[in-house]
């Protein structure tokens, strides 16, 4: 009998609603379902998502490696567990509890994110836990927390954008990364009010063509100057909301003084953006505040910098000077990328946090969570270190000797990836839980096969802070286990008396109790309540079960209710030009692929759309370097190199080249990127690297690729 299941897409934070139809012979078809984010539509990745369920190389049995450098072989669950337990005990004998570390992912359900943090701190008793959201949302989260006292990526319903007269997108290519989002830009485009800040003419930037808006194309890393220039014009024109600033913010005077020194002509000299475009952007934003509303949105392009927190802060400052957060139509938001990027950072995967977005150093927070977990506050470890610093410490004399990886492909996604791979090699034991073999499992000593999206129950939290139900449509293959089961089993084997339920609904109830009174409060809902809701609530969802679609209308979540503005100063990238590195590399996502590509590089239709890495160059740059369209080129930084096929395009500045980051081995863009991090957020500077580019011989590449195990 054919069965249908209503659920949500396994990819980005739009969490588009879909319906799965499972047939008796095992096939699954996907259709769109009406929902605020997607209105029934899906992107290419969503339509093909069922192909992941029967990937030919799906992991179906645990794998173990008998010796370092030896092959992985199939093993029983009992043998794999025993190997893990021995690894934990051996690591602890050498370095104590902190000799074991945990690395999570922004694609895990809320239940898994919560229980992974609990497993790390209660069973392993380690302070070393962080996750790949540090590579994605950390700068935006840091800026929002210090300004608003609350990090909810989009503090309003996405449907508010439908009335907008002007929308500024800083460093976000939604037309490729989350295509159904584009429909929410329609009215702003009709009014000529779409403003896109991006060093390249991306698919999103091209939406400003034909009078639909303006594309500001700055030098990479110059976003702060551009945002200050727009703010300068707004202040000089008298379009600031003086009453709002005085009544509901602090620190605005210092920000205004800084903006006064960044007139449009100065910004043009620093960024390359014409002063006329700076003025036009300011006019569009100011002119639409009372005409449908103005919105300021940021994405990874603005955030993945060594000063990414300050860049987001500059965007927030702009929104506050216009008084946008107090309005029912208008505001600031950051576009969460990963499927559960919002929920994944709220419940204990981050190195300094406990569930409910509580800080691990807060005495009251420690007492509350310890009470939920049945331990004393003194048993909870202290704060750890952000992801990049954690990776740097792996395998060092005083660092972790063992690492658990859940929902991440570090060998591809980490900055300065060769260094990351060296640290993985230095571990005594690496345990990876995944659905398919990845570049990271190649370094693993134990690989555990886990369930994926359509085989599990749980909840997700989308970019609006909206709680959603993920529902099981079919059982997992024989031999595959849910991570809730894995952590339950390992907790027992490691001698823990703590409760680790294997039922997602029970884990959610515990999560809700743990989050009660916290910044991200889920205490007023449950699986049963979410099942009954046509559209889930936006947190905080307190004990009265009410949704909070716009938390900043009347006050902010700071102690005095005021937003705290911070003065920020433009600067140069940490990895700047010089020493024969004469071009800036920017990296990004493609329509057909997602994150490290571990999933999408297994879907034939998506691989057919973009089979491998490419390097986009401006025609003048290509001519100067002697590079032709379709030729193989090598991009080299001070850290490493990557190769791809040359694409010649005028969509880039002549001083910029672009590579997608979805590909692996010699095609991995993160071989080149910098692991310098933002001092506030721990975000790596993915989005600007000084590089040189040269054509390479195809025969040479083929030889090297074969040695590295690269095919195609």
User: pLDDT for 460-475, tens place per residue?
Assistant: 999 999 999 999 999 9
Tell me the mean pLDDT in the region 122-137: 96
Query: Pick from 390, 388, 418: which is nearest to 639 by CA?
Result: 418
Give the dihedral sign, CA 70/75/79/85: positive
Tokens of 678: 């933002």
Encode 81-145 in three state secondary structure: HHHHHHHHHHHHHHHCHHHEEEEECCCCCHHHHHHHHHHHHHHCCCCCEEEHHHHCCHHHHHHHH
30: CATH = 2.20.25.90
Is residue 548 one of the residues assigned to a domain?
no
Answer yes or no: is pLDDT of 703 > 60.
Answer: no
What distance in Å separates the CA atoms of residue 310 and residue 590, rounded to the nearest whole number? 26
The dihedrals phi and psi of 601, each to the nearest 5 degrees, come to -75, 0
pLDDT digits (tens, 9 = 90+) for 575-601: 889 889 999 999 999 999 999 999 999
The dihedrals phi and psi of 491, each to the nearest 5 degrees, come to -60, -45
Residue 527: the pLDDT is 97
Is residue 572 one of the residues assigned to a domain?
no
What is the enclosing helix (H) or strand (E) of 441? none
Q: How many CB atoms lie within 10 A of CB 73?
A: 11
What is the enclosing helix (H) or strand (E) of 32? strand 28-32
Residue 337: the pLDDT is 85
223: CATH = 3.40.228.10
Residue 702: the pLDDT is 58
Is residue 381 one of the residues assigned to a domain?
yes
Cα→Cα distances 362→289, 339, 476, 658, Å:
39, 29, 40, 43
SS3 253: helix
Is residue 539 one of the residues assigned to a domain?
no
Q: What is the DSSP string of 313-381?
A: HHHHHHHHHTTGGGSSS-EEEE---STTHHHHTTTT-STTEETTTEETT-HHHHHHHHHHHTS-GGGS-
594: CATH = 2.40.40.20
What is the enclosing helix (H) or strand (E) of 536? none
Q: How many CB atoms lie within 10 A of CB 711?
A: 7
- b or e along 324-357 (b: 16 or more beta carbons within 10 Å of the residue's beta carbon)? bbbbebbbbbbbbbbbbbbbbbbbbbbbbbbbbb
Domain boundary, last residue among 334, 359, 390: 334
Identify whether residues 98 and 213 lie together within a single domain.
no
Tokens of 577: 């030009």
- On average, the pLDDT of the chain sits at 95
Q: Are 169 and 299 in contact (CB under 8 A)?
A: yes
pLDDT digits (tens, 9 = 90+) for 624-642: 999 999 999 999 999 999 9
Q: Are 548 and 521 in contact (CB under 8 A)?
A: no
- b or e along 614-647 (b: 16 or more beta carbons within 10 Å of the residue's beta carbon)? bbbbbeebbeebebeeeebbbbbbebbbbbbbbb
Tell me the mean pLDDT in the region 654-675: 97
Identify whether residues 400 and 304 lie together within a single domain.
no
Domain boundary, last residue among 312, 334, 356: 334
Q: What is the DSSP letter of 241?
A: -
Identify whether residues 522 and 465 lie together within a single domain.
yes
Identify whether residues 315 and 373 lie together within a single domain.
no
Residue 710: the pLDDT is 42
Answer yes or no: is pLDDT of 272 > 60.
Answer: yes
Q: Are 511 and 110 in contact (CB under 8 A)?
A: yes
Is residue 471 one of the residues assigned to a domain?
yes
Query: Pick from 483, 381, 453, 546: which is nearest to 113 by CA?
Result: 483
Q: Residue 445's Cα: distance from chain center in Å? A: 27
Q: Are 431 and 445 in contact (CB under 8 A)?
A: yes
Q: What is the DSSP letter of 652?
A: B
Tokens of 706: 């074969």
pLDDT digits (tens, 9 = 90+) for 497-547: 999 999 999 999 999 999 999 999 999 999 999 999 989 999 999 877 789
**Banded pLDDT at 264 (limits 50, 70, 90):** very high
Query: Pick from 48, 216, 204, 160: which is nearest to 588 by CA?
Result: 204
Start-to-end CA span in the chain (Å):
41
* Domains of the chain: total: 4
Q: What is the DSSP string of 518-585?
A: SSS--TT--HHHHHH-SSPPBSP--TT----S-TTSS--SSTTS-EE---------SS-SBTTB-EEE
Quote the domain boundaries for residue 287: 151-334
Is residue 26 one of the residues assigned to a domain?
yes
Is residue 410 one of the residues assigned to a domain?
yes
Tell me the mean pLDDT in the region 679-686: 96
Query: Pick from 136, 110, 112: which is nearest to 460 by CA?
Result: 110
Encode 4-26 in three state secondary structure: EEEEECCCCCCCCEEEEEECCCC
Domain boundary, last residue among 334, 350, 375: 334
Identify whether residues 421 and 298 lie together within a single domain.
no
Identify whether residues 526 and 400 lie together within a single domain.
yes
Query: Pick from 657, 656, 652, 668: which is nearest to 612 by CA?
Result: 668
**Banded pLDDT at 701 (limits 50, 70, 90):** low
Identify whether residues 208 and 307 lie together within a single domain.
yes
**Banded pLDDT at 706 (limits 50, 70, 90):** very low
Tokens of 646: 């040359």
Answer yes or no: is pLDDT of 345 > 90.
Answer: yes
Identify whether residues 614 and 491 lie together within a single domain.
no
What distance in Å separates the CA atoms of residue 95 and residue 211, rounded to the nearest whole number? 62
Identify whether residues 205 and 83 lie together within a single domain.
no
**Banded pLDDT at 328 (limits 50, 70, 90):** confident
Identify whether residues 375 and 317 lie together within a single domain.
no
Q: Are 99 and 404 in contact (CB under 8 A)?
A: no
Is residue 556 one of the residues assigned to a domain?
no
Residue 155: the pLDDT is 96
Tokens of 118: 């609990």
Identify whether residues 311 and 382 lie together within a single domain.
no
Identify whether residues 26 and 104 lie together within a single domain.
no
Largest pairwise CA distance in the chain: 71
% the chain with pLDDT above 70: 98
Query: Pick from 126, 89, 113, 128: which is nearest to 379 by CA?
Result: 126
Q: DSSP 3-state helix, strand, coil percentages of the chain (rounded to 5)? A: 35, 20, 45
């Amino acid at each position: 009998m054919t069965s249908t299941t209503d659920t949500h897409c396994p990819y980005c934070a739009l969490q588009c609603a879909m319906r799965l139809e499972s047939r008796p012979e095992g096939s699954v078809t996907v259709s769109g379902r009406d929902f605020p984010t997607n209105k029934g539509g899906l992107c290419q990745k969503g339509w093909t998502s069922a192909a992941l369920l029967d990937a030919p190389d799906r992991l179906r049995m645990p794998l173990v490696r008998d010796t370092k450098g030896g092959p992985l072989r199939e093993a029983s669950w009992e043998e794999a567990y025993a190997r893990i337990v021995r690894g934990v005990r051996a690591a602890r004998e050498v370095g104590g509890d902190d000799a074991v570390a945990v690395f999570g992912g922004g694609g895990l359900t809320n239940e898994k994110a919560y229980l992974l943090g609990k497993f790390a701190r209660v069973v392993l008793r380690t302070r070393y836990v962080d996750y790949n959201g540090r590579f994605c949302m950390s700068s935006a989260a840091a800026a929002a927390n210090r300004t608003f006292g609350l990090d909810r990526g989009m503090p309003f319903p996405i449907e508010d954008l439908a009335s907008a007269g002007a929308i500024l997108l800083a460093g976000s290519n939604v037309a490729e990364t989350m295509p159904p989002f584009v429909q929410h830009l329609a009215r702003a485009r009709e009014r000529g009010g779409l403003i896109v800040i991006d060093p390249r003419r991306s698919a999103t930037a091209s939406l400003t063509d034909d009078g639909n808006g303006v594309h500001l194309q700055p030098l990479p890393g110059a976003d702060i100057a551009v945002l200050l220039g727009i703010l300068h014009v707004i202040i000089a024109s008298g379009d600031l909301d003086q009453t709002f600033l005085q009544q509901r913010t602090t620190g605005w005077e210092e920000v205004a003084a800084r903006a006064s020194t960044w007139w449009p002509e100065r910004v043009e000299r620093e960024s390359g953006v014409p002063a006329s475009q700076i003025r036009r952007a300011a006019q569009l934003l100011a002119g639409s505040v009372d005409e449908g509303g103005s919105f300021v949105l940021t994405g990874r392009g603005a955030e993945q910098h060594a000063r990414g927190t300050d860049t987001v802060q500059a965007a927030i400052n702009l929104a506050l000077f216009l008084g946008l957060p107090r309005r029912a139509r208008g505001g600031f938001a950051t576009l969460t990328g990963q499927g559960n990027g919002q929920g994944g950072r709220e419940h204990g995967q981050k190195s300094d946090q406990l569930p409910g977005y509580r800080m691990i150093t807060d005495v009251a927070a420690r007492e509350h969570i310890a009470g939920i977990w049945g331990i004393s506050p003194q048993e909870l470890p202290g704060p750890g270190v952000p992801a990049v610093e954690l990776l740097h410490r792996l395998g060092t004399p005083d660092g972790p000797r063992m690492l658990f990886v859940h929902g991440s492909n570090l060998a591809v996604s980490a900055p300065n990836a060769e260094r990351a791979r060296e640290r993985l090699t230095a571990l005594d034991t690496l345990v990876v839980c995944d659905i398919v073999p990845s570049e990271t499992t190649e370094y693993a000593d134990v690989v555990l096969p886990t369930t994926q999206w359509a085989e599990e129950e749980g909840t997700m939290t989308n970019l609006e802070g909206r709680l959603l139900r993920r529902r099981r449509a079919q059982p997992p293959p024989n031999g595959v286990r849910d991570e809730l089961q894995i952590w339950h089993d390992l907790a027992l084997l490691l001698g823990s008396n703590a409760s680790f339920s294997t039922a997602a609904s029970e884990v959610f109830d515990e999560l809700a109790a743990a989050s009660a009174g916290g910044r991200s409060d889920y205490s007023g809902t449950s699986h049963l309540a979410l099942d009954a809701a046509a559209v889930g609530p936006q947190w905080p969802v307190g004990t009265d079960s009410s949704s909070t679609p716009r938390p900043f209308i009347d006050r902010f979540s700071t102690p005095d209710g005021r937003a705290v503005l911070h003065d920020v100063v433009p600067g140069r990238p940490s990895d700047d030009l010089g020493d024969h590195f004469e071009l800036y590399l920017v990296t990004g996502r493609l329509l057909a692929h997602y994150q490290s590509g571990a999933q999408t590089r297994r879907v034939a239709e998506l691989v057919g759309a973009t089979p491998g890495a490419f390097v986009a160059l401006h025609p003048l740059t290509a001519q100067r370097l002697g590079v032709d369209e379709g030729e193989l080129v090598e991009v080299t930084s001070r850290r490493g190199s990557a190769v791809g096929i040359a694409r010649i395009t005028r969509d880039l500045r002549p001083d910029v080249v672009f590579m997608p980051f979805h590909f692996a081995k010699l095609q991995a863009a993160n071989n080149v990127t910098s692991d310098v991090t933002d001092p506030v957020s721990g975000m790596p500077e993915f989005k600007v690297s000084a590089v040189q580019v040269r054509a390479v011989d195809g025969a040479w590449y083929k030889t090297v690729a074969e040695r590295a195990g690269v095919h195609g």
